[in-house]
Amino acid sequence: MAKKTSRKATAESMAAKQRDISVSEFFAKNRHLLGFDNPRKALLTTVKEAVDNALDACEEAEILPDITVEIVELDAPPAPAKGRGASGAAGKYKVIVTDNGPGIVRKQVENIFGRLLYGSKFHRLKMSRGQQGIGISAAGMYGLMTTGKPMVITTKPGKRKAAHHLELAMDTTKNRPEVTMDVETDDFPETSSGTGTRVEITLEAKYQRGKTSVEAYLEQTGIANPHAEITFIPPANGGRADDDDQPTLAGEESDLAVAEKAKAEHAENAGGLLRTIRLDDRVIFPRTVDELPPETSEIKPHPYGVELGTFLSMLKKTDEKQLGGFFKREFCRVTPAILKGVTDQASTKGNSISGQSWIKSIDHAMAERIYKALQQAKLRAPPTDCLAPIGVRQLLAGLLKGVSAEFYSAATRPPAVYRGNPFQIEAAIAYGGGLPGDEPARVIRFANRVPLLYQQSSCCSFKAVVETGWRNYQMSQPRGSLPVGPVVVMIHMASVWVPFTSESKEAIADYDEIRKEMKLALQECGRKLATYLRKRQKMRREGQRRDVFERYIGEISRACNALTGADAEELYERLLKQARRRTEIADAILDEDGKVIGSKAEANAGRRDPLDGDDGVIILDDPPSPDDSPNAPAPTTTPKAPAKRSTKSPTKKKPARKPSSAGKKKTKAPTTKKKPKRSGAAEKPRVRVKLQAAGESQANLFS
Amino acid sequence: MAKKTKKTTKKPTSKKRTSKASKKAAGSDGATRPARNPKTTEKTRKRVISLAEGVVKSSLAGREPKLEVPTRALSNTKWNKSRRILQMGSAAQERQLFNLNQSKKFMQTLLHAKGVKELLDRDKTSSLRGMFYQGLHTISGTKEKTFDDQSESDGILEDLEVSLGSLREELHIFAKKRGTMVGNITVVDNGDEIDCRRMGTGGYAIPSICEPSVIQFKDVQADFVLHVEKDTVWQRFNEDRFWETHNCILTEGSGQPPRGVRRMLHRLNKELGLPVICLLDCDPWGHYIYSVIKQGSISLAFESERLAIPDARFLGLRAHDYERCDLSDDVQIDLNDRDIKRAKQILDYPWFKGDRGWKKEIQLLLKNGFKMEVESLITKDISYVTEVYVPERLEAEDWLA
């Protein structure tokens, strides 16, 4: 799926220098490092890799991602025996991930899917998803090892070109791909872009619902990537409890039509809000933003973030001949003036250096002195255009989709730096509505748009949530724990280098700078929430006030009529108008500072888009009741709001599968095709959120 | 009218003084505006209407309707040292419709304004209670009544009085009768001659409206007025024919005297030159009653000019009477915290503060730690108060002023 264009010799060259290590052996020994600790996690990791790759590929090709994830149960996991952990019992599953990305040219397929640890994201300082590090090939290998089934890849690189169907096994001893089947096929679902890739991996796994399930992962991915539309088709019997023979019947009719219809209906029901759609056989996390994240640039290392050893090896490896050129090319923020100061400080009697000094002449001691002087020099913070935060709007759109609450607020912190690495923290809060009120807050964490599902309590963001004084924001919080209340807290860290606590990359390391930023972001959201809550109280009071006024106005106008002969009706109307005006706060929509940004009446009349305000806060008038879907990880929504805006016509058709026959595909011609653009794109019917809010850094995220 | 009195000496000889209900005199003195004068009625009517007009005007202009109500509180009363009365300051409160705390009062004020206009239009008078019922109804669409109780309504009427600058009488409203009078005087009440010497045991009930237009004095022989606090004491004096033996007028105000009684006393003092002597309990409340009679009350400071009697005297009971009269321990009633607090408050009033006698009196009361009622003198003898106590003090002119 994803193209991995450049390569750095790592495992490969090492293996060549020493002696061949069986990759499968290595893999079997270290599967926990790679996220295949247990069958349940293996399934998630496989989906994760495939989805991350799909998103990366789509974004690189500037295609709005449409991703379908299907899990088919081949062999159900055996019922857990007594005394054995549930995760130990594995079944056999097939994971099918289809995207509408650019496709892959035939000759690259083996390289991309067939080799382990083949990638480029590791060394560069650029914000990218490649956080899980092991790639889809590891998932393929895991599948091959556990079930003996090769990875099946179908890719369509051009609209008019035929799709390739490949079956890919791996020579595990040589870490080389082995193509077992290679045919051209027209059996590829129609996608919006006309191109696309499908990966099928059969593996030993276990499908389970819950906090760390595939579904939760996809849901959170949807929140962090509001520009992507993700459809999840869970295994027929592992899915919903009410899953009887309904899907089959629906499938008979036309999956596609049913899905589209449901989506349109859903949008109508939600009063124009796009939210997670739960159908009998699938879950759709719809696209809520029609613009791709901006592209980020790669940055050079900042001297503060480089260790001595790295510095030395950089000196050794550089092609530059002189110190000045070296610093200019390899580092950021080292200006000639600073370099002069550094070299002056590093110079000793009889060994004076400057920017013109030859690198060859720098010995170890001198390099160390330069390094020290560099660390002491006053340097500007690294550039931050390498960061692409999700953005307040997008955060809100994402949360709105996944979490049904009544109040949403989001905040993006300005970029900050830890150890020379720029990073940016974003936080969002959803409050009230359908969220359970007596449970600890749910914290969802992201690093570079990738959800982190495991090791919550060792994560920096978790600590930041605990350390934030939620009582100031009208919430209860037991000492040293999460706040309790109907609240979902979301934290996103965007950085060129996210510091994870471990290789499994599941928790962000606890740097003071990072935690401080996280707390500041949370406080910002919390303040908005507190303002809202206070304002809500005030609104209630104002409502009562208005009642009082309205009660008396009739009496007053009648008395005045008797006294002066003034028109009682007119007087009543005028006073009523004034009373309404004076208590208009009662039906006001509030912005983050508690300022009135509109009134309910106005909103209902024009059905304002809740995301249109420029405030980082969304407040819904009619949040769904908590009993809407009590068992779902995040309550899905069927708001009772009457349809006010339903002009949105379905603009594209999605491929859909019969849930009963997993392997077979059914295609339909798309009615419309869309060509998304990066920021600045013209408004399309479905554009609901302007991507760049003023003040957000314009940078690019993925490539 | 007040000018008609020729002498205001302390002990006038029994001269026949007559005070006629004179329309000639009316209006010459702002303090004695007669009610039911067509001119005043018209003036009051105009004021009531203009009050509502202000509301209508600002409502139609989209401004917030407001009423100005002069503040009736200690903070807005001024002690006029030279005239020795309490006067109302210029501070006024805005009563706003769109203020939750004032909204209902605003409505009630207009409701009563409407009621007053009706009274004026139809030339009727109504009682405070009557006004309460007149304005009382359930607000349409709610279960809320316009007034919770009469005291709420009474307060609004007082507000209306001050904000219109018209007296209650001019609004054609009277209070429940309270207070009784007997003595060597004949009054003409709405044309009926009433000889207060022939009132039996009940006495003449002092009406709520004692304006010259309603009540005129005729055949006054009394030398002074003795005002007692309560009906029970008054009964004692009446039974003992004290007013006859001492040639005086005997009044009673059932505790804090209502406006009618105070107006009557004021007129007896100002128009007929009769000194007013008070016999009240020896406790902070008795002292305050005296203070109200003497300088006017805080809440009715705007009417002080026509109610206050700066020359009124306080005859008793005095704190030292316990020893002087050799009373038994049984008459002592311990001062409670509220009494002590009140006494200290009274001591702090500017009109008491400068008076040495009063300072001593209150300090002694506090030192004693007990209060006494006038009735306590009965422990000496049933008629001790009428036969010994009061005559002795009057003779000795032993009083506080």
Distance CA A80, CA A84 (A): 7
Q: Of the ranges A172-186, A282-296, A514-528, which one carries the lowest mean pLDDT score?
A: A172-186
Q: Dihedrals φ, ψ of A442, to 5°?
A: -95, 130
Pick the more confident residue, A231 or A56.
Answer: A231
Distance CA B287, CA B280 (A): 8
pLDDT at A667 over 50: no
- The alpha carbon of residue A564 is apart from the nearest alpha carbon of chain B, in Å, by 6
Which residues on adjacent β-strands are paired with residue A488?
A430, A442
Distance CA A546, CA A544 (A): 5
Chain A residues touching B51 at Cβ < 8 A = 563
Q: Looking at residue A564, what is its pLDDT? A: 86
Would you say A175 and A23 are in contact if contact means Cβ atoms under 8 Å apart?
yes
- The alpha carbon of residue B185 is apart from the nearest alpha carbon of chain A, in Å, by 43
Chain B residues touching A542 at Cβ < 8 A = none
Q: Is A549 on the interface with B (CB under 8 A)?
A: yes
Burial class (CB in 10 A: 0-12, 13-18, 19+), A533: middle
CB contact under 8 A, A562 and B106: no
Chain B residues touching A563 at Cβ < 8 A = 48-49, 51-53, 110, 113-114, 117
Q: Looking at residue A686, what is its pLDDT? A: 34
**Buried b / exposed e across A625-646, counting CB within 10 Å, b at 16+?**
ebebbeebbbbbbbbebeeeee
Pick the more confident residue, A327 or A503.
Answer: A327
Which of B49, B103, B146 is opposite residue A563, by nearest beta carbon?
B49
- The alpha carbon of residue B97 is apart from the nearest alpha carbon of chain A, in Å, by 7
Say how far residue A440 (Cα) sits from the centre of its chain. 23
> In sequence order, which ranges of A583-615 are alpha helices (DSSP H)?
600-606
Pick the more confident residue, A246 or B374.
Answer: B374
CB contact under 8 A, B59 and A564: no
pLDDT at A651 over 50: no
Give A421-438 pLDDT, tens digit per residue: 889 999 999 988 778 888
Which of A555, A564, A566 is opposite residue B107, by nearest beta carbon?
A555
Share of chain A above pLDDT 90, in %: 6
Q: Of the ranges A76-90, A128-142, A505-519, which one carries the lowest mean pLDDT score?
A: A76-90
CB contact under 8 A, A559 and B51: no
B288 classed as catalytic? no
Q: Which strand (E) or helix (H) includes residue B111? A: helix B103-122
Distance CA A361, CA A371 (A): 15
Q: Is A552 on the interface with B (CB under 8 A)?
A: yes
Residue A27, amino acid = F
Q: Where are the beta strands (DSSP E) in A475-621?
A: 487-495, 588-590, 596-599, 617-619
Q: Looking at residue B1, what is its pLDDT? A: 40
Domain boundaries B36-171, corresponding CATH code: 1.10.10.10
- The alpha carbon of residue B105 is apart from the nearest alpha carbon of chain A, in Å, by 10
Average pLDDT estimate for A610-626: 54
Residues of chain B where predicted confidence (pLDDT) is lower than 70: 1-37
pLDDT at A439 over 90: no
Average pLDDT estimate for A435-462: 87
Q: Dihedrals φ, ψ of A575, to 5°?
A: -65, -35
Q: Is B104 on the interface with A (CB under 8 A)?
A: yes
Residue B323, amino acid = E
Average pLDDT estimate for A56-70: 87
Pick the more confident residue, A689 or A136.
Answer: A136
- The alpha carbon of residue B92 is apart from the nearest alpha carbon of chain A, in Å, by 22
Distance CA A112, CA B182 (A): 120
Q: Is B121 on the interface with A (CB under 8 A)?
A: no
pLDDT at A527 over 60: yes
Cis bond before residue B128 (omega within 30° of 0): no
Distance CA B27, CA B37 (A): 10
Enter the tokens of residue A292.
């791709």
**CATH architecture assignment, domain A11-208:** 2-Layer Sandwich (3.30)
Q: Is A574 on the interface with B (CB under 8 A)?
A: yes
Q: Of the ranges A283-297, A632-646, B260-274, which one carries the lowest mean pLDDT score?
A: A632-646
User: Which residues contact residue A82 at a Cβ distance below 8 angstroms, ignoring those fewer than 6 apart?
Assistant: none
Indicate the average pLDDT of chain A: 73
Tell me, which fold does domain B2-24+175-396 have in CATH? Dna Topoisomerase Vi A Subunit; Chain: A, domain 2 (3.40.1360)
Enter the tokens of residue A289.
């933003």
What value of ipTM does the predicted structure carry?
0.71
Chain B residues touching A553 at Cβ < 8 A = 97
- Give, as one character, the DSSP assignment of residue B389: I
pLDDT at A571 over 70: yes
Chain A residues touching B160 at Cβ < 8 A = none
**CATH architecture assignment, domain A303-376:** Orthogonal Bundle (1.10)
Q: Computed from CA positions of residues B23, B24, B27, B30, in that sequence, does the dihedral angle turn out positive or negative?
A: negative
Q: Looking at residue A81, what is its pLDDT? A: 52
Q: Could you tell me the residue ranges of all domains in chain B?
A: 2-24+175-396, 36-171
Q: Looking at residue A548, what is its pLDDT? A: 79
pLDDT at A702 over 60: no
Which of A549, A554, A556 is opposite residue B140, by nearest beta carbon?
A554
Average pLDDT estimate for A144-173: 83
> Which residues 145-164 on chain B approach chain A with CB closer than 8 angstroms?
146
> Which residues 127-146 on chain B approach chain A with CB closer than 8 angstroms?
139-142, 144, 146
pLDDT at A639 over 50: no
Average pLDDT estimate for A374-383: 84
Q: Which strand (E) or helix (H) includes residue A568? A: helix A568-582
Would you say A305 and A344 are in contact if contact means Cβ atoms under 8 Å apart?
no
- Which of B133, B290, B349, B384 is labelled catalytic? B133
